[in-house]
Amino acid sequence: MDQTMHTQTTAVHAGNRRDDAFGAINEPIYMTSNYRIPTDGSPVDWSGIHSNIYARNRNVNQMVLQDKLCALTGGEDAAVFASGVAALASVFVTFLNSGDHAIVSEVCYSATNLLFRKYLPEKYQVQVTFVDTTDTEAVKAAIRPNTKLIHVETPGNPTTGISDVDAIAKLAHDAGALLSVDATFAGPICIYPLKHGADLEIHSMTKYINGHGDSLGGCVIGRTELVDQIKELAMVNFGGILSPFNAWLVARGLVTVPMRMKQHSAVALAVAEFLEKSPAVRFVWYPGLKSHPQHDRAVALMNGMYSGMMSFDIKGDEATHQKFLNALHLVTHAVSLGDVESLIVYYDKTSDKLPHYPKIYHEGFFRFSVGLEDAEDIIADLQQAFEACGLV
Ligand SMILES: *Cc1c(COP(=O)(O)O)cnc(C)c1O
């Protein structure tokens, strides 16, 4: 693939393989668990990742997807998994040993939180410090001689806090540690963690990369030397690989990711500006708003597009919050994000996660994944729900 091509061209063409058997333009789905072993008698590495032997080691639809991911993110190699959580776990088990120390964003995905708060320390004696990684000084202060991994989620799910990837990469590398960045909330294209010094970029492909809400998936992208270690340990021996069919679905989603991120970002900015002006709203955090606490950092990191994710709260008691959710017609009450349709979830005051979020979140709030609908229609839905609740 010509590296000088523009992003949308790359998304369409990178990774595609020629079908010399029948001339099909679309990538076939290789629904095969086995591949023929060469008949030349050369030795076969049953655990090898560099040839097609068995679909857990390597398979064609995975390779297409991995190549597209690399072309779009500037990574050397990628490993794709059956879910975002499998991709995250692959990094943690590959690069952390018993007795090592990890620094982790205190605002992070629930499975990341649970792995580091409970399972990795209790079962494998990994030491962990959770810090507010939007505060670079706090990251610096947490570094120990045995720190081996700094794991940052940026923008953070659900607060959209932005961490300084360049500065934290420098801190990690000076300490002999790796920096992994879960960039799921931004999707690719809006942010390029690898170009800002991260060693590994991780996404739940279930969200923006697939984008159509019909497949789970996860990826890790980075230098070949690191990704090979992940494949050799976590992919082949833990086995959470992505099926050929889901790899094909996700690769099809990835083709339109540059176009979709543009639309998600433009619609979300208009919606965030509407929310910011509405008397019904207690606060809104969206990285593209000047009022966002790390807006300047988002401008430096985020490529002029700020994705479709925001968090906000309305005024009123718990009952009003429930009433608001029920009054929405176009926007669906559901937990995922990065889908073509707008999705919203409520974190009520009793959520055990709230203590780790900035104080303004402690009263409860909504996480809002703005879809690809027209901004006017989403705004009209929010406005009629505010009216139904007597908030405006
Ligand atoms: C959804 C999500 C994950 C987990 O991904 P799955 O595909 O659901 O396993 C990890 N990190 C972030 C930031 C997410 O939003």
Closest ligand 1 atom to Cα of 88: 10
User: Ligand 1 centroid to 218 CA: how many Å?
Assistant: 8
Is 164 marked active-site?
no
Q: pLDDT digits over 115-142, tens only?
A: 999 999 999 999 999 999 999 999 999 9
Query: What are the pocket residues of ligand 1 if the criterion is a CB atom closer than 6 Å to any ligand atom?
Result: 83-85, 109, 153, 157, 182, 184-185, 204, 206-207, 216, 218
Residue type at position 331:
V
Picking from 254, 276, 297, the residue at the C-terminal end of a domain is 254
231, 325: one domain: no
Q: How confident is the model at residue 223 (pLDDT cuts 50, 70, 90)?
A: very high
Is 323 marked active-site?
no
Q: pLDDT digits over 237-278, tens only?
A: 999 999 999 999 999 999 999 999 999 999 999 999 999 999
The whole-angstrom separation of Cα 350 and Cα 272 is 26
225, 270: one domain: no
Query: Given a cut of 90, is residue 43 above it in pLDDT?
Result: no
The overall average pLDDT reported for the chain is 96
Q: Cis peptide leading into 258, omega within 30 of 0? A: no
| Predicted local confidence at residue 308, as pLDDT | 98
3-state secondary structure the chain: CCCCCCHHHHHHHCCCCCCCCCCCCCCCCCCCCECCCCCCCCCCCCCCCCCCCECCCCCHHHHHHHHHHHHHHCCCEEEEECCHHHHHHHHHHHHCCCCCEEEEECCCCHHHHHHHHHHHHHHHCCEEEEECCCCHHHHHHHCCCCEEEEEEECCCCCCCCCCCHHHHHHHHHHCCCEEEEECCCCCCCCCCHHHHCCCEEEEECCCCCCCCCCCCCEEEEECHHHHHHHHHHHHHHHCCECCHHHHHHHHHHHHCHHHHHHHHHHHHHHHHHHHHHCCCEEEEECCCCCCCCCHHHHHHHCCCCCCCEEEEEECCCHHHHHHHHHHCCCCEECCCCCCCCCEEEEECCCCCCHHHCCHHHCCCEEEEECCCCCHHHHHHHHHHHHHHCCCC
To test the pocket of ligand 1, the residue of 206, 214, 347, 369 to mutate (highest count of ligand atoms within 8 Å of its CB) is 206
**pTM (2 d.p.):** 0.97
Q: How confident is the model at residue 38 (pLDDT cuts 50, 70, 90)?
A: confident
Closest ligand 1 atom to Cα of 217: 7
Q: How many domains are there within the chain?
A: 2
Q: Which domain holds residue 225?
A: 7-254
User: Ligand 1 centroid to 41 CA: how many Å?
Assistant: 43
Picking from 238, 254, 270, the residue at the C-terminal end of a domain is 254
CATH number at residue 336: 3.90.1150.10
| Predicted local confidence at residue 80, as pLDDT | 98
Atom 1 of ligand 1, nearest CA residue: 204
Atom 2 of ligand 1, nearest CA residue: 204
24, 153: one domain: yes
105, 240: one domain: yes
User: Ligand 1 centroid to 365 CA: how many Å?
Assistant: 19
CATH number at residue 190: 3.40.640.10
What number is the average pLDDT over the span 319-326? Answer: 97
Closest CA to 93 of 242, 229, 241, 243: 229
Q: How confident is the model at residue 289 (pLDDT cuts 50, 70, 90)?
A: very high
In a domain, 331, yes or no: yes
In a domain, 1, yes or no: no
